[in-house]
């Protein structure tokens, strides 16, 4: 019996607090001591592996002048080698193998950063993260773990944000997109589409991908779309057509979510996106001057209160209805 069924059962029979407690016990809705112990062990193992990887990285950074070039690389390469040995010894889906591959993933990024800092390759920062996603992808595939996929998606989106925000002409993405003459909002929309494609794959394989990871990917997609919409509506981008594409993305995600009726989180993201774009539009429409500034502040306050209230009531209504 899941949480929705328990809620309906309690509401239908108007159970008292004591009976609710008994119902939770009989339904096994509370975690058992063994489950709590297992969760604590996994969290501590994850924290320990990440702390070890971060500790080695900070040790190299703190002792940069005391260590020779070979010593810096040797420390990180030794950690990478130990992680891979552990992953082969206890391959995923065993916990040790997964945590070892996560450590290998983090260490790979540290090695790439160390290489770029030592030899001054002249590469843009986004190229580091983009190379990181390509080189560490085998670790993610072998890990068979949603946490590893979330780390990979995070690194990929940092690369896309750095490229779209600073628009460097060098690197692979610069070679591809610089001749196209795309505006910043256009590049942001491409980043949003990349995340939407990943989200579509995750939705297709929803039995294998946990709900929190699908939400994370969608949040990245709509964050880029909102960024693009704010730039286009605020007059900082000369391609107003991109506003239409932002609307298309929001409407498509909203229709899909409304059709499935499983999760209101995508609609919450859409509401947040509309509020952010509307705020940007009101701020841009204001004219210079003290009186205009005061009026703009009141308009922004009114808009934020009204939009937040309406979206909150609609989302809560849909949440109860879909349950």
DSSP string computed for 105-167: HHHHHHHHHHHHHHHT----HHHHHHHHHHHSHHHHHHHT-HHHHHHHHHHHHHHHHHHHHH-
pTM: 0.85
Tell me the pLDDT band of 256, cut-offs 50, 70 and 90: very high
pLDDT of residue 219: 96
**pLDDT, tens digit (0-9, with 9 covering 90-100), for 52-68:** 888 888 888 888 788 88
What's the whole-number mean pLDDT along residues 26-32? 69
Residue 93, preceding peptide bond in cis (omega within 30° of 0): yes
Least-confidence region, from 91-100, 114-123, 159-168: 114-123
Task: Round to whole Å and give the CA distance between 37 and 42.
Answer: 9
Task: Round to whole Å and give the CA distance between 129 and 105.
Answer: 12
Q: Over 70: is that where the pLDDT of 206 sits?
A: yes
Q: Considering the chain, what percentage of its residues have pLDDT values greater than 70?
A: 90
Taking the C-alpha atoms of 182, 185, 186 and 188 in order, what is their torsion angle to the nearest 10 degrees?
120
């Amino acid at each position: 019996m899941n949480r929705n069924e328990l809620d309906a059962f309690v509401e239908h029979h108007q159970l008292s607090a004591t009976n609710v407690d008994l119902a939770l016990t009989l339904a096994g809705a509370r975690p058992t001591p063994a489950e709590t112990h297992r969760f604590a062990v996994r969290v501590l193992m994850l924290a320990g592996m990440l702390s070890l990887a971060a500790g080695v990285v900070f040790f190299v950074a703190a002792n940069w002048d005391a260590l020779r070039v070979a010593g810096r690389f040797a420390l990180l390469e030794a950690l990478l080698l130990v992680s891979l040995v552990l992953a082969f010894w206890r391959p995923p889906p065993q916990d040790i193998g997964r945590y070892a591959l996560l450590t290998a993933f983090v260490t790979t990024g540290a090695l790439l950063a160390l290489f770029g800092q030592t030899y001054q390759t002249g590469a843009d920062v986004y190229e580091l993260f983009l190379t990181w996603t390509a080189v560490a992808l085998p670790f993610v595939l072998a890990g068979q773990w949603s946490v590893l996929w979330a780390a990979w998606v995070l690194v990929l989106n940092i690369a896309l944000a750095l490229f779209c925000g600073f628009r460097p002409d060098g690197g692979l993405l610069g070679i591809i997109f610089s001749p196209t003459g795309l505006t910043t909002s256009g590049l942001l929309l491409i980043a949003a589409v990349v995340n939407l494609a990943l989200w579509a794959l995750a939705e297709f394989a929803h039995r294998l991908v946990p709900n929190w990871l699908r939400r994370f990917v969608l949040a990245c997609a709509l964050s880029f779309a909102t960024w693009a919409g704010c730039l286009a509506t605020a007059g900082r981008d000369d391609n107003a057509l991109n506003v239409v594409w932002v609307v298309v993305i929001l409407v498509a995600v909203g229709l899909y979510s409304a059709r499935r009726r499983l999760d209101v989180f995508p609609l919450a993201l859409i509401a947040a996106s509309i509020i952010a774009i509307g705020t940007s539009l009101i701020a841009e429409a204001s004219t210079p001057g003290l009186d205009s500034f005061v009026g703009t502040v009141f308009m922004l306050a009114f808009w934020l209160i009204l939009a937040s209230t309406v979206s909150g009531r609609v989302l809560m209504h849909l949440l109860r209805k879909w349950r």
